[in-house]
Chains A and B, each alone.
Chain A
Amino acid sequence: MTIPHTAPARLEWRVARVTAVREEARHARTLVLDVPEWPGHRAGQHVDVRLVAEDGYQAQRSYSIASPPESTPVELTIERLEDGEVSPYLCDVLRPGDGLELRGPIGGYFVWETSLGGPLLLVAGGSGVVPLMAMLRHRHAAAAPVRETVPVRLLYSSRTVDELIYRDELTRLEGAGDVDVHFTLTRGVPAGWTDFQRRIDRAMLAEVGWPAASGARAYVCGPTPLVEAVANQLVELGYDPSRVRTERFGPTG
């Protein structure tokens, strides 16, 4: 399927309607949105969301699109930040039937589609998994011969196991033999945990990542310190810097 690369003439604010919500993990919720005149999007892109209070005060945040280009409606997965200005409203207050002002899709750098090929290394910290999930879902929607040309490995760092977003879906993707998934927990593990239990480091990337000679494309997303450390480590391991794309989400939530 060819993803149309057409940019809208203007990036307009529109009011989307929340059609459903879905609790994903301890601090995360997916909003299912009906967006009028949505032009389609690419995996990895985001939307800007704007909240306006009665006194006119505006708060604006960017949220990665979780759904792949192949499916409508548009889905956003929001991590609830304890001291956030916007995320508590989106996670605790917003209900199906409510409107949400947003503009998008936005972005042309942190995007991936099957035509870009692989192998693909996806590295996520916390809610940084959201745009990478859009990429995985996009890849999963492709025909088997296409998927076979793009092997993919995901390394996903989370504080605790109950903060892992999309864990069941990732386990299913891995079980289908399609995706290689590694989790690492940084603040304690449940009994019987057999995967990694430390911050991502160069040794872990060397172990689970593609060798640099494979020409792999890497996408790294999550808290700024993690993204910067991992990107530097991948370049140290020999990755072509132009094939390492990053999206910083700011301080650890």
Chain B
Amino acid sequence: MQMEEMRLDGNAAAGILREIFVHDMTAAVATCRGCGATGMVGGLLEYGQEMGAILRCPKCEAVLLRVVHAPDGMRLDPSGLALLMIPANALVT
């Protein structure tokens, strides 16, 4: 089976992202540092890994975000993101 068939999307990372962020992150708009493409986190490509998630740009496949449970806590590597914009209607109290 091809890797492409197995991939999910940002919806699958919504739970683990909620362990770090107060708001749901799937409606946030991500800008790719690699190619400049923008799109909602829910539409990013997700490759699950042991106890975490890797989110990739659907245009250029660059890694935008890695999040993982580690023995000493959690690790979030946002270095592939140029910007994350959370729209007002996703900022819930």
What is the interface of chain A, defined by CB distance below 8 A to chain B?
Answer: 5-7, 9, 11, 46, 48, 62, 103-104, 106-110, 223-225, 228, 245-252
Contacts and interface: CB of A to CB of B under 8 A. Distances in A.
Interface residues of B, number: 29
Contacts of B93: 6-7
B42 A110 contact: yes
B42 A109 contact: yes
- Chain B interface main SS type: mixed
Contacts of B9: 246-248
17 contacts: A7-B92, A9-B22, A11-B19, A62-B11, A62-B15, A108-B25, A108-B42, A109-B10, A109-B27, A109-B41, A109-B43, A224-B6, A245-B43, A246-B42, A246-B43, A248-B9, A250-B8
B75 interface: no
B59 to A, nearest CB: 11
Interface of B: 1, 4-12, 14-15, 18-19, 22-27, 40-43, 46, 89-90, 92-93
A110 B6 contact: no
B86 to A, nearest CB: 10
Given A46-B11, A62-B15, A245-B42, A224 B24 contact: no
B15, B22, B23, B40 — most chain A CB neighbours (10 Å): B15
A62 B26 CA distance: 15
Nearest to B86: A108
Nearest to B27: A108
Contacts of A7: 22-24, 92-93
Contacts of A46: 11, 14
A5 B88 CA distance: 12
A109 B11 contact: yes
A251 B26 contact: no
Contact of A107 (B8, B14, B22, B89): B14
Nearest to A44: B11
A234 to B, nearest CB: 13
